[in-house]
Structure 1
Amino acid sequence: MFFADVPGGIEADGRVLVCSATDLVRAAECPWATVRILDEKLGRVPRLPVPEDPMLERTARLGDRHEAEVLAELRERYGPYQPPDAGAPGAGCTRWSRRDR
């Protein structure tokens, strides 16, 4: 879970909350844990101490590297994300098919 700057975003400060699949699973399992993490990200509560876990750290680094590689491939293929004008008719609706690949 992190905040991303989106030019022309509908949020007042131009940032949007981005959730990963892990964040969505956590929210389904325990909504309170998700709210707690969001409060930490917003600076509303102090961050809880987390014990060191070398295997988890390595797994996280490998996952981050993989996500960065996939994101770079998607940006190369489709270009940078351009959010639609929120007030435009059909905003947010796109048509996609195998021909578009």
Structure 2
Amino acid sequence: MILVYCSFNLPFAIWPLRPTVEGIPKELDEAAYMDGASPWTVLYDIIFPLARPGLAVTLILTCVFAWNEYLLAATLTNFHARTLTTGLAEYVTTTGTAWGI
């Protein structure tokens, strides 16, 4: 299920992240390199803090998509290994919803 969710959510994750990362000015990277920063330092100290809003949006978007994906999870899982959404569907019966459980 992890591979299935990754393959379906990856295009939707790239969609908001690409403009976020492209919007960060390259001059900030160049200035950090001129000050002696390594590539990892530039990534963690400059790019990640500036891309944090886009990362948050992407996290929320992919979580909602994974939560709402019921059909694949119901098809590809069984009783012993299932996702939370298919497990919660067990409490909805023809006579009503078992709220007490």
Structure 2 length normalisation: TM-score?
Answer: 0.30
Which one has a larger percent strand, Structure 1 or Structure 2? 1
The structure in which a higher percent of residues are helix is 2
Q: Name the TM-score, length of structure 1 as normaliser.
A: 0.30
State the structure with bigger RCO (CA 8 A, min sep 6), 1 or 2: 2
